[in-house]
Amino acid sequence: MNTVKRKVILTGGGTVGHVMLNKLLIPGLINKGIEPLYIGSKKGIEKEIINATSIKYYNISSGKLRRYLSKENIKDFFKVSKGFYDARKILKREKPELVFSKGGFVSVPVVLAARSLNIPVFIHESDISPGLANKIAGRFATKIFVTFEKTLDHLPSAKAEYIGPVFRDDLGRGRNNIGFELTGFNPEKPIMLIMGGSLGSVTINKFIKDNLNELLDKWQIIHLVGYGNYDDALNQTGYKQFEFVNKELPHLMKISDTVVGRSGSNAIFEFLLNKKPMILVPLPLNQSRGDQIENAEYFKEKGFAEVIHEEQLSLSEFMQKLSAIEQHRSEIITRMKVFDGGYQPEDLVNRLLQEEGK
């Protein structure tokens, strides 16, 4: 007797943040006997990340969505239109139970195509204010899950629901001994973890490089520099570079006292999960829509973080923020311990299937 294999379509792209949650859901779907499939762009970072897994990846045409008038909008309108028909063909062929979208420009035609075929659509929004793609796609969604409670103010109450962050299963299970083996550091001296994202942060990397000797007086530094940014000339006692880490991250986080990084929602909630006081340097408005600034200021209001805006990043400002954290470390960690929220990836898989079955 032939049975129809259950399938779910995942979509999202443009940034690592729009892909990694989808990647985390893949094992949970497979464990449920469901085949995950991915729809992404032809050249986006999502293709590289998903092609490293075992699941089928479909390319569609996609265009950039802009909030301003531009001649390029005309070209991209046709790209998005083609993407809609590309996605519709895929969805009609694969017949998924549902579509799960993490956002990004490529997700919009997929969501519209799913809606045209009456396929349930579930969206996850990580930032406080939804991006343009999710604002558009959200109108056609069955339900929108959000990471911040504050995001509910920006979305229709009938379909939006707060679930908190979705964590990697292993992030809270780091081991000190492995962390010290990876770094060779002295357990008696404070450790600072610098994270600038998978590609690194040019600004943060330059700041650390320019002020490394001063910082190493009081700190040991783990520096995730990003792909292609490893610099042999900087190697010295108390300073350990990694281009990128995956399985190592829980152990490096475990031995760190303070974390410094951008303020993408995935990263800052990982810091919170591990009860690590943080200095956040959000992407400025000339490089983003301001979502990281909102995230950083929210964490500052909650008493989890100190914030330095990029144009104010200097050694004196940085040392001042470090001093503030040291003075109030115990209070910061106490506030972090109160936080109780979030899903494991398998919990979200179960929730999606439950919602789809209603």
Taking phi first (over 0 means left), then psi (-120 to 50 degrees means alpha), and beta for anything else, what does residue 120 get? beta
- 168 in Cβ contact with 271 (< 8 Å): no
Domain assignment present for 190: yes
- 252 in Cβ contact with 222 (< 8 Å): yes
pLDDT for the residue 257: 98
| Six token digits for residue 62 | 């996609």
Is the pLDDT at 82 greater than 60? The verdict is: yes
Domain assignment present for 29: yes
Question: Are 326 and 347 in the same domain?
Answer: no
pLDDT for the residue 199: 55
Helix H segments across 217-314? 249-255, 265-273, 291-301
Question: Are 231 and 254 in the same domain?
Answer: yes
Burial class (CB in 10 A: 0-12, 13-18, 19+), 207: buried
Least confident window among 86-90, 131-135, 254-258, 316-320: 131-135
Question: Are 136 and 251 in the same domain?
Answer: no
pLDDT for the residue 205: 93
pLDDT for the residue 78: 59
Find residue 343's DSSP bridge partners.
166
The CA distance from 343 to 148, in Å, is 13
| Six token digits for residue 201 | 């942060």
The H or E element that residue 110 is part of is helix 107-116
Mean pLDDT of 102-110: 91
Domain assignment present for 262: yes
Question: Are 20 and 61 in the same domain?
Answer: yes
Task: List pLDDT tens digits, range 313-323.
Answer: 999 999 999 99
pLDDT for the residue 75: 59
Question: Are 219 and 294 in the same domain?
Answer: yes
Task: List pLDDT tens digits, range 179-233.
Answer: 999 999 999 999 999 998 655 588 999 999 999 999 999 999 999 998 889 999 9
Question: Are 21 and 162 in the same domain?
Answer: yes
The CA distance from 38 to 21, in Å, is 13
| Six token digits for residue 296 | 């950083």
Total structural domains within the chain: 2
Burial class (CB in 10 A: 0-12, 13-18, 19+), 126: buried
Domain assignment present for 147: yes
Domain assignment present for 1: no
Q: Which amino acid is at 19?
A: V
**Structural domain of residue 19, as residue ranges?**
6-166+342-356
Q: Supply the CATH number for residue 259's domain.
A: 3.40.50.2000
pLDDT for the residue 218: 95
Question: Are 71 and 209 in the same domain?
Answer: no
Find residue 280's DSSP bridge partners.
261, 307
pLDDT for the residue 66: 46
Output the average pLDDT for the chain: 90
Q: pTM of the predicted model, to two decimals?
A: 0.85
Question: Are 184 and 86 in the same domain?
Answer: no
The CA distance from 91 to 204, in Å, is 42
Domain assignment present for 171: no
pLDDT for the residue 69: 47
pLDDT for the residue 64: 60
Task: List pLDDT tens digits, range 17-71.
Answer: 789 899 999 999 999 999 999 999 988 889 989 998 989 999 998 756 545 445 5
Domain assignment present for 153: yes
**Secondary structure (3-state) at 166:** strand
Q: How confident is the model at residue 85 (pLDDT cuts 50, 70, 90)?
A: very high
Q: Which amino acid is at 17?
A: G
pLDDT for the residue 1: 43
Helices (H) and strands (E) in the chain, counts: 14, 13
Task: List pLDDT tens digits, range 236-295.
Answer: 999 999 998 889 999 999 999 999 999 988 899 999 999 999 999 998 877 777 789 999
> In 3D, which of 37, 5, 11 has the Cα closest to residue 115?
11
Question: Are 69 and 186 in the same domain?
Answer: no
Q: Which residues contact 272 (CB under 8 A, 6 or more apart)?
A: 299, 304, 336, 339
Question: Are 157 and 210 in the same domain?
Answer: no
Q: Which has the higher per-residue pLDDT, 67 or 100?
A: 100
Question: Are 149 and 266 in the same domain?
Answer: no
Q: What single DSSP character describes residue 227?
A: T
The H or E element that residue 138 is part of is helix 132-138
Question: Are 12 and 107 in the same domain?
Answer: yes
pLDDT for the residue 238: 97
Domain assignment present for 220: yes
